[in-house]
Amino acid sequence: MSNEELKNTENSQPETEITSEETSASAEQSAETENQTPVVEAAEEKVEAVAETTPEPEVAEVKVEAPAETATESIAKTEEPKAAESTDSKPEASKSEDSETEDKAHYNSVVSSLEKLIGTEDTINVEVIAKAKGGLRVVYDSVPLFLPASHFSLEKNVKDEKLEEAVNTKFDVKVTEVKQIGDGKIVIVSRKELIQKELWEKIKVGEDLTGKVSSITNFGVFLDLGGVEGLIHVSRLSHSHIDNPKNHFHKGDELTVKVVEVDQKNGKITLSKKALEDSPWKGAEQKYKAGESVTGKIKRLTDFGAYVELEPGVEGLLRVSELSWAKRINKPSDMLEENQELELKVIQISEEKGQAALSLKQNQENPWPALAEKYSKGSEASGKVEKVFDKGAIIRINDEVDAFMPISRISALKVNEDDQPLKVGAEIAVKVIDSAAKDESLVVSPVLSEAQQEKMNDRREKRERAPRKPVQNIQTSGGSISFGDLLSKAALDKLTKDSK
């Protein structure tokens, strides 16, 4: 049979017949009686729902002609003379059997050759003859094959309209499976891999592409490029900072992007929307010069500082160490809040990197020269415990400067070894033991009572009188040496001094 005959045969089958075959057991038995080859149902990985049957060429003609018979034709056949019926039946039956035998031999030969193509890169060109449930009926060398809808294109859900538009068209496919159905076989084909390969070859680094947002995550936006997806990482979405892409984009949005990287082996495409936008940092070094004062608004706070917007798309970092001259700030949120406007000084700015370092304290007068003079070594003051940690404590003096009290000085206040003498918020009298304006440093110790001073002196004397373990000598082939022999005279003098 020719391709045209096959198409006419398939298209002449009424929809009611297909429905009957799906729901009626008796109709299925009738189809088997007429030697039809069933179309595969989706029971394997690459085949979706297939509920129709695909007849072999010659058998299909017989089945289609049967419903076309009218009541008048039936009566006419009944009234034909028995002698004529007997005379003509033998030649016609012989021709039909010969034709059916030839068709089956051709069918089996073609199917056998197609079976050898599974797993290879070879393709065949097929013609779509009809839309079927779950896919398309296609023909190759007069043999009907099945193309599942899921392998017609790269779309997840192919609309019926697209499948119907494909009828009478031709394209290349790959043979993916030959499925045994009863006594016959059905060949499953796919064009998905070919389309995907062609699409990957078209996507080039540096090109501008347009696609629709397919999904949104916290780390970026996935864009459908017509069958393959690319990722726009959150850092490539915009020059302006984006915390959560879900607040700025929606599924179905159409975006134009630039291809940054193509990794076909791992199936990854990196895209950038920011690359198509003019950089707001252009000219920033001239506009915001290092050493000059600027006005900015706090956009967000972190544990290590605050990001300050100088203009849309241009943000600088205000580190916690640049918040105050004399006070130690634990968290920026202790003294700042979002949307707060500040007068700041630009410390450093890079147009190329899109970064700026800002300072709040350097936009104010440095108080340390006056503080070092006011709290000179040996002077006393009152303070409040702000923080206690393993190395010591932070004492705020007169609410204008934070001083450090070493843990060795705090131990003098202990009543016993397990005692915690300092509590956050407690008032304490302190004595300045070191003051350095250059280092922005003020070190203090607690003001001790006579009893506390005597107790501390006793502890010091006990440590000095305590026997020290002798330094063991290291045995070598040339004699014995001590660790002291390995140290310089300056290092030994320093150790001796520190031990006293």
pTM to 2 decimal places: 0.50
Amino acid at the residue 380: E
Shared-domain flag, residues 139 and 63: yes
Q: What is the pLDDT of residue 433?
A: 92
Residue 296 phi/psi, 5-degree rounding, is: -140, 165
Nearest-Å Rg of the Cα atoms of the chain is 44
Q: What is the arithmetic mean of pLDDT over 164-191?
A: 90
Q: What is the pLDDT of residue 61?
A: 34
Q: What is the pLDDT of residue 100?
A: 72
Q: What is the pLDDT of residue 79?
A: 36
Shared-domain flag, residues 186 and 245: no
Place of tokens 């500082």: 305
Quick count: other Cβ atoms within 10 Å of Cβ 272? Answer: 18
CATH number at residue 377: 2.40.50.140
Distance CA 202, CA 114 (A): 29
Q: Is the pLDDT of residue 72 over 50?
A: no
Identify the domain boundary among 276, 293, 310.
276
Place of tokens 């995907």: 196
Place of tokens 């956050």: 424
Distance CA 446, CA 452 (A): 10
Identify the domain boundary among 194, 223, 257.
194
As given in the structure block, the two tokens for residue 437 are 């304006």
* Distance of alpha carbon 325 from the chain centroid: 42
Burial class (CB in 10 A: 0-12, 13-18, 19+), 189: buried
End-to-end CA distance of the chain: 112
Q: Is the pLDDT of residue 221 over 50?
A: yes
Distance CA 332, CA 347 (A): 19
- Spell out a b/e string for 148-175, using b for 16 or more CB atoms within 10 Å of the CB, else e: bbbbbbbeeebeeeebeebbeeebebbb
Whether 118 contacts 190, CB under 8 Å: no
Q: What is the arithmetic mean of pLDDT over 418-447?
A: 89
Q: What is the pLDDT of residue 127?
A: 94
Shared-domain flag, residues 324 and 444: no
What domain range is 487 assigned to?
470-500
- Tens of pLDDT, residues 333-361: 989 999 999 999 999 999 888 899 999 99
Shared-domain flag, residues 56 and 141: yes
**pLDDT tier for residue 32 given thresholds of 50, 70 and 90:** very low
Q: Is the pLDDT of residue 273 over 60?
A: yes
Distance CA 104, CA 124 (A): 21
CA dihedral 30, 35, 39, 40 (to 10 degrees): 100
Number of residues written out for the chain: 500
Shared-domain flag, residues 30 and 146: yes
Distance CA 454, CA 90 (A): 135
Shared-domain flag, residues 120 and 265: no
Place of tokens 């890079």: 350
Q: What is the arithmetic mean of pLDDT over 325-333?
A: 89
Q: What is the pLDDT of residue 475?
A: 52
Number of H helices, E strands in the chain: 14, 22
Shared-domain flag, residues 55 and 131: yes
Percent of the chain with pLDDT over 70: 72
Q: What is the pLDDT of residue 101?
A: 76
Burial class (CB in 10 A: 0-12, 13-18, 19+), 335: middle
Identify the domain boundary among 316, 345, 363.
363
| Helical H segments across 34-81, by residue range | 57-68, 71-79
Q: Is the pLDDT of residue 464 over 80?
A: no
Shared-domain flag, residues 411 and 452: yes
Shared-domain flag, residues 15 and 146: yes
**pLDDT tier for residue 17 given thresholds of 50, 70 and 90:** very low
Distance CA 160, CA 153 (A): 12
Shared-domain flag, residues 61 and 179: yes
3-state secondary structure 423-466: CCCCEEEEEEEEEECCCCEEEEEECCCHHHHHHHHHHHHHHHHC
- Tens of pLDDT, residues 98-128: 677 777 888 888 998 998 999 898 999 999 9
DSSP-derived 3-state class of residue 163 = helix
- Give DSSP secondary structure letters for 382-439: EEEEEEEETTEEEEEETTTEEEEEEHHHHGGG-SSTT-----TT-EEEEEEEEEETTT
* Number of structural domains the chain divides into: 5
Distance CA 320, CA 303 (A): 8
Greatest mean pLDDT range, 47-56, 303-312, 485-494: 303-312
**pLDDT tier for residue 92 given thresholds of 50, 70 and 90:** low
Distance CA 17, CA 67 (A): 10
The residue that leads in pLDDT, 482 or 306, is: 306
As given in the structure block, the two tokens for residue 293 are 């004062």
Shared-domain flag, residues 263 and 336: no
DSSP-derived 3-state class of residue 10 = helix
**pLDDT tier for residue 216 given thresholds of 50, 70 and 90:** very high
**pLDDT tier for residue 228 given thresholds of 50, 70 and 90:** confident
Return mean pLDDT, the chain: 77
How many CA within 13 A on the CB side of residue 28?
12
Among 78-92, 187-201, 281-295, 432-446, which is the least confidently predicted range? 78-92
Shared-domain flag, residues 237 and 140: no
